[in-house]
A = this chain, B = another copy of it.
């Protein structure tokens, strides 16, 4: 089945915001086995929106629209879709009640709901109404003559839960086949290396398929299979995941869609009851900030020390004055002393330390921009890596963060 996305919003056409909804919906469609051939963004203009929806419904089985369901006069996605599909709008009493309840709960019993808001209770005849748990605008599924339009609210916080809880089951039912997938997440091996290592699998693949997604410092492989029922699809996936595990071993940090690198790391360290200190120079706190992404990180992370000046490196981490003088702050020895001293001076079991030149200035012939040393100490064992990253300041720092998390993970696996 083919699907097509239409994002509605002048703010996207103005470059005011990045269209992350399209990326989210595209990935969800890919996961559901739908072929997406077109994505269009159009503004809140009736004529242009009409043409766009009509063209999309002509050429695709399913058209997913997001945005333009709000209460103001600008919001015309609902009305325009109904017009394209030649369906009248009628009031949905259930939605009217839900909107009433929503406002009374949020704003108190005496709140007077404006007339505009009732427009959101108007739905095309015969539409399936999707309750919005995080806002007033309901989602809508409208079917006619073998074509389906799915209307979703624009705010990601409303769109995503609605899509996952209500649209996914609907689309799964629509598919004659069950489509299942599993995400194998790999760190510590570059994208081209990963692709080379599975070249044979990819070139001979039919069902399941393996699709690589490159992230900074990580590669995610999505294994997708289709079969007459879910159980059978998973049965097809299992041997492929097993083969990937055989090839990538400990470089696979999870096969759970939702788990991030920092989550798997914090969970692993919490399980082993290891405490952590981050000692950062050029990353400036980005490693500890990344670890604090994980709820409950406090079980593991005790402190982060952004030792940006040499004085701070000496004071907080006990890096030797002679080391800084003889080989400099960006050196293998300094990274070593930062990691070792981080554990010693704080009493934590582990310390991850980074020192490097993020640029744009500060580079020399011997120590060019992009040179980053990462030191890691776990239970007294220290490992230091020398890295040469490319790109601008932000890119170099981003790569440093992921490489540090990857090194910490491998040291925890080895030394605990």
Contacts and interface: CB of A to CB of B under 8 A. Distances in A.
B211 A293 contact: no
A312 B345 CA distance: 12
B39 A27 contact: no
Interface in A245-285: 278, 280, 282-285
Contacts of A397: 289, 292
Given A19-B19, A40-B39, A309-B298, A304 B285 contact: yes
A297 interface: yes
Interface residues of A, number: 70
A270 B40 CA distance: 46
B16 A19 contact: no
A393 interface: yes
A26 interface: yes
B39 A12 contact: yes
Contacts of A42: 37-38
A356 to B, nearest CB: 12
Contacts of A19: 18-19, 22-23
Contacts of A26: 12-15
A239 interface: no
A274 to B, nearest CB: 14
A306 B284 contact: no
A65 to B, nearest CB: 15
Contacts of A214: 16
Contact of A303 (B38, B289, B292, B307): B307
A113 B211 CA distance: 29
Given A13-B36, A284-B285, A303-B312, 10 more contacts: A14-B211, A15-B22, A15-B28, A18-B18, A284-B292, A284-B293, A284-B297, A285-B285, A295-B393, A304-B306
